[in-house]
Amino acid sequence: MTEIEGGITTPLGFKASGVHCGIKRNNLDLALIFSEFPAVAAGMFTTNKVKAAPVMVSQRKIRRGRARLVVINSGNANACTGKRGFENAVKMCDIAARELGISSEEVLVASTGVIGEQLPMDKVEEGIKMAVKSLSSQGSSQVAEAIITTDKKIKQLAVETDILGQGKKKVRIAGVAKGSGMIAPNLATMLCFITTDACIARDALKEALQRAVNSSFNQITVDGDMSTNDTVIILANGRAGNKRIKTWRKKPTLRVEDENFEKFCKSLDYICIYLAKSIVRDGEGATKVFEVKVEGAPFPQDARRIARKVACSNLVKTAIAGASPNWGRIMAALGAAHTKVKPEKIDILIDNVLVVKRGEPAGAPLSDLRERLSKDEISMLIRLNQGDCKATFWGCDLTEKYVRINKRYV
C-alpha cells in the first residue's frame, strides 16, 4: 500500500464537485460524489437516539447495498426538523437523481451544521443543479472544502493497494472527512466518504468498513459529545477489474476470506485512522494530540473502556493543555471505567517515561514530564498487567478556545 496524490476522485470512475449555494454566508456548502458506474455501498451512522433526517434517509436506502451518488451539504444539519426535514432530505435525493438521470434509490444524503433549522430548499435545489454541471474527475478538493464547518483544515487521502486489477493496475481507495467538535466514540459530528474502484462483494465491503470504523472513528474523542449526523459511507464500483473480493462461511463456525480481503482491510484501516487522527488534530481549540494505549487487559472491552475513559476525561485533557504532570488524573480516570482493574499492578508511561510503577509513584522528575507534556503530540501507555488484550484511543487537549468557539456557535 502506498499513499498517492489526490482525493475522493482518484479511484477510477468517480467524479465530484463542490459549490456555494447560499446555505453558508460564504464558502462552499454543497457537494456531490458520483460513481459513473453502478457501485456497491456500505455505511455506518450515529448511535445517538436523536438522528438527523439525512441519517434516517440514508440508513433506509443503504440496506439495498447499492448507491451511485452522495449529496452533502454543510451549514445546516437538518436535524430535529420533523416531517418537513425528512421530506427535504428525500427531496435532495430526488432532485439529484432527476438531474443525473438515475434512480433516487441510488442517492444517499448527508448534512452537517446547525441543528433545528429547516434547509433553504430553493437554494439547495439550485446548488444541486450547479454541482451536477460541475462534476469533474478533479473535484476532490472542492468536496473536502464544501463539507467542513468549524474545521481549520481539509482532510483527504488516497492510497494504492497491493491488489492488482486489469492491466496490473493497482486498486485504489480514497477518503475525505470533516470533523472538529462534538467528537466522541461511536461516531461523532463527523462525515466521512470513501470511494474505491475495487470489485468487492457487498458483505465483504460492509465487514471491512465496520472493522475500519471500529479501529478509527470509534477510537477518537475531542469533547465527548455525540452528534445527530455522524455518517461514514463507502462506494465500490469495481472499475479496477480485480478478481472479486469476498468472504464466505464454509461452516457455521468457519469463515473463509479471499486472499485480497485482508489487503483491502489494511488499506481501508490506514485511510480511516489517518482521517480520524486528522479530526482529533483539528479539534476545536486543540493545541495538542495525545494517544492512550492500554495493554495487558483481561478482556478487549476492558481495554477499550479504560482507553476511552482516560481519553475523554476533562481533567486529563486540561492537564495536557497546561502541561501538568498530574498522573493521578490518569489513575482516577481509568479507575472509573467500571472494569475489574487491580491498581497495585498498574504501570503508566508518559512519552516512554515511567511515572507509575505497580500503582505507586515511580519517581520521574516533574520538570522532565512538563517538558514532554509541552509537545504537540503525546503518548500514554497504561499497562494493566492482567491479561493480553489492548486498545488505543486518540484525543486532544481541552482549552479555553474550545469554550469560546462553542459558546458563540449558532
| Number of Cβ within a 10 Å radius of residue 304 | 23
With cell 462461511, the residue in question is 249
CA pseudo-torsion sign 108, 212, 159, 205: negative
Q: Does residue 224 register a pLDDT over 60?
A: no
* Residue 284 DSSP class: T
Q: Which of 10, 46, 81, 189 is catalytic?
A: 189
Q: Which amino acid is at 15?
A: K
- Residue range 142-158: average pLDDT? 92
- 339 annotated to bind ligand: no
Sequence spans of domains, the chain? 2-281, 289-407
Determine the Cα–Cα distance for residues 176 and 72; give it in Å rounded to an integer. Answer: 12
Give me the chain's average pLDDT, please: 90
3 state SS of 299:
coil
Determine the Cα–Cα distance for residues 305 and 149; give it in Å rounded to an integer. Answer: 30
| Closest by CA position to 45, among listed 188, 159, 258, 168 | 188
> What angle do the packed helices 328-335 and 300-312 form, to 10 degrees?
130
- Residue range 71-84: average pLDDT? 95
3 state SS of 2:
strand
pLDDT digits (tens, 9 = 90+) for 356-407: 999 999 988 888 888 899 998 999 999 999 999 999 999 888 888 777 766 6
Ramachandran bin of 223, using left for φ above 0, alpha for ψ from -120 to 50, beta for the remaining angles? alpha
- 231 annotated to bind ligand: no
Determine the Cα–Cα distance for residues 312 and 219; give it in Å rounded to an integer. Answer: 11
Residue 214 burial class via C-beta count within 10 angstroms: exposed 0-12, middle 13-18, buried 19 and up: middle
pLDDT band at 36 (very low <50, low <70, confident <90, very high): very high
Q: What is the pLDDT of residue 187?
A: 39
Pairing of strands 69-76, 30-35: antiparallel
Which helix (H) or strand (E) segment holds residue 17: the answer is strand 14-19
Of 40-49, 273-282, 295-304, minimum mean pLDDT range: 273-282
Higher pLDDT: 408 or 176? It is 176
Question: What is the chain's length?
Answer: 410
- 406 annotated to bind ligand: yes
pLDDT band at 238 (very low <50, low <70, confident <90, very high): very high
The separation between CA 200 and the C-alpha centre of its own chain, rounded to angstroms, equals 21
CA atoms within 13 A on the CB side of 124: 25
Residue 228 annotated in active site: no
Higher pLDDT: 400 or 8? It is 8
* Residue 44 DSSP class: E
Residue 405 burial class via C-beta count within 10 angstroms: exposed 0-12, middle 13-18, buried 19 and up: middle
Edge to edge, what strands does the sheet with 170-178 contain?
A: 2-4, 155-164, 170-178, 191-196, 231-236, 40-45
Q: What is the pLDDT of residue 279?
A: 87
pTM: 0.86
pLDDT digits (tens, 9 = 90+) for 99-112: 999 999 999 999 99
Q: In this structure, what C-alpha cell is assigned to residue 353?
A: 517515561
Give, in degrees to the nearest 5, the angle at Cα 42 between 176 and 35: 60
Q: Does residue 213 register a pLDDT over 90?
A: yes
- Residue range 239-261: average pLDDT? 79
Q: What is the domain class of 289-407 according to CATH?
A: alpha beta
The fold for domain 2-281 equals: L-amino peptidase D-ALA esterase/amidase (3.60.70)
3 state SS of 83:
helix
Residues 6+ apart with CB under 8 A from 104: 90, 93, 94, 97, 98
DSSP code string of 139-192: -HHHHHHHT-SS-SS-EEEEEEEEEE-GGGPEEEEEEEEE-SSS--SS--S-EE
Determine the Cα–Cα distance for residues 73 and 96; give it in Å rounded to an integer. Answer: 13
pLDDT digits (tens, 9 = 90+) for 172-192: 999 999 986 544 444 336 899
